[in-house]
Amino acid sequence: MKYYTLSREGNFYKGNLHTHTVVSDGELTPEDTVERYRKNGYHFLALSDHCHYGYYPELETENFLNIPSMEVQTSNGATWVHHLLVFGDPAVTKIKNHTLFPDRDHAELTIQQLIDKMKATGNLVMYNHPYWSKCDINEIIGLKNLVGMEIYNYGCDVPWKWGSSEVFYEHYLWHGNYLWAISTDDAHGRS
């Protein structure tokens, strides 16, 4: 008998939830970024520019979905910064398309306060690249209201070898917190 980790039936979609464009620190325009993913067989993409809530419905097609999202961060005086991916339906979040959230608007918040603030507007919140961010596991294990954590980030792994965060995820689970494990490329337009 064979055992499978995923159902053998149903629809499977290829996508990425963590990508940057020239709107923040990427190298390609949103249009060029979407086109690159679409040509490579992706079905959905989150253009998660830093502190910029972007949604590009004009770039969607019948077979390609653009997910409204952004990456936000806070240090709250800490040495290292916590990064979050937030995404949701603009009709629910009530965040206007292309809204800018300057770093100063949330730099003094604790990571839990930032998670709660983003969730309060109707967003789903995911923790990004904890290993690359050099976060202390003890700062993460008690966080509430997260739906996912990046356990692999290609953009952090290839140049620095800091992309695997499985141990953070496992410790989070050991403390009775359950969330999705996500793998992303965190592309900034590099080949």
Residue 3: pLDDT band (50, 70, 90) is confident
The tokens of 84 are what? 């979050």
Report the pLDDT value the prediction gives residue 19, as an integer from 0 to 100: 96
Report the pLDDT value the prediction gives residue 56, as an integer from 0 to 100: 93
Report the pLDDT value the prediction gives residue 95, as an integer from 0 to 100: 79
Give yes or no for residue 57 having a pLDDT over 60: yes
Residue of 84, 87, 26, 12 lying closest to 55 (CA atoms)? 87
List of residues 6+ apart from 58 with CB closer than 8 A: none
Tokens 């009775």, residue located: 176
pLDDT in tens, 133-191: 888 899 889 999 999 999 999 999 998 899 999 999 999 999 999 999 999 999 998 65
The pair phi, psi for residue 31, each rounded to 5°, is -60, -45
